[in-house]
């Protein structure tokens, strides 16, 4: 659903695997990988593909929820850093990160101060025109007031997704220039699908993706 507006504008070349389709756009060869939902599937399928093929750039395209009310719905953003928000341990009402547990150094590759950071995004004019934001990646999207308040206090995220940090992790490991580009489909709040802007967000995602390809 998320990628449909993009591939509708590409010229299909051939299927490569059940999850990978090859396309053409202008002078570019464009492989579209559908990873499935969640960070585990994303990490596995991205790493499997990046180990087989060397790409000039990797783009992670999808929608996200916004914690920041000033981020407009159906607006595109560039997630320049992301945290695996649930990776750690609970100690009563406290959350202990892997760094606090002594299981990971704060700057141990690919982390920087406990975050996965895109320090060298591709020099793409369309990408540079997007608002840079910080994100979290979660297995369970937030939809309860107390948990939303807790994660905002702890990490100060702008947006959340279920895949972004896993994609960034894989791209850093394989040394591929990359960007995580998201469109804000909803405010992070108690689940309220009536307030989501999904059709508008998918249309904007397709438009933004084509701008990124054209500028590449």
pLDDT tens, residue by residue, 150-203: 999 999 999 999 999 999 999 999 999 999 999 999 999 998 888 899 999 999
Cβ 139 vs Cβ 87: under 8 Å: no
Residue 120: count other Cβ atoms within 10 Å of its Cβ. Answer: 8
Q: What is the spatial order of strands in the sheet that 28-33 belongs to?
A: 11-17, 20-25, 28-33
Whether 3 has a pLDDT exceeding 90, the answer reads no
pLDDT given at position 93? 85
List, in order of start, the domains of the chain with CATH numbers: 4-215 (3.40.50.1580)
Q: With beta carbons less than 8 A apart as the criterion, state whether 159 and 135 touch.
A: yes
Of 187, 179, 148, the residue nearest 81 (C-alpha): 179
pTM of the model: 0.94
């Amino acid at each position: 659903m998320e990628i449909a507006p993009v591939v509708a504008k590409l010229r299909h070349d051939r299927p490569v695997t059940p999850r990978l389709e090859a396309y053409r756009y202008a002078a570019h060869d464009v492989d579209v990988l559908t990873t499935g939902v969640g960070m585990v599937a994303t990490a596995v399928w991205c790493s499997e593909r990046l180990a087989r093929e060397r790409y000039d750039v990797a783009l992670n395209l999808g929608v996200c929820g916004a914690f920041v009310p000033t981020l407009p719905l159906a607006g595109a953003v560039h997630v320049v850093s992301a945290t695996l928000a649930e990776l750690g341990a609970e100690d009563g009402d406290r959350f202990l990160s892997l760094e606090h547990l002594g299981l990971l150094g704060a700057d141990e590759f690919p982390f920087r101060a406990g975050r996965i950071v895109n320090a060298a995004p591709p020099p793409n004019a369309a990408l540079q025109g997007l608002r840079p934001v910080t994100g979290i990646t979660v297995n369970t999207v937030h939809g309860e007031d107390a948990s939303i308040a807790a994660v905002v206090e702890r990490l100060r995220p702008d947006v959340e997704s279920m895949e972004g940090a896993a994609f960034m992790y894989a791209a850093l490991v394989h040394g591929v220039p990359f960007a995580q580009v998201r469109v804000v489909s909803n405010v992070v709040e108690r689940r309220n699908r009536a307030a989501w802007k999904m059709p508008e967000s998918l249309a904007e995602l397709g438009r933004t993706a084509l701008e990124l390809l054209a500028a590449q």
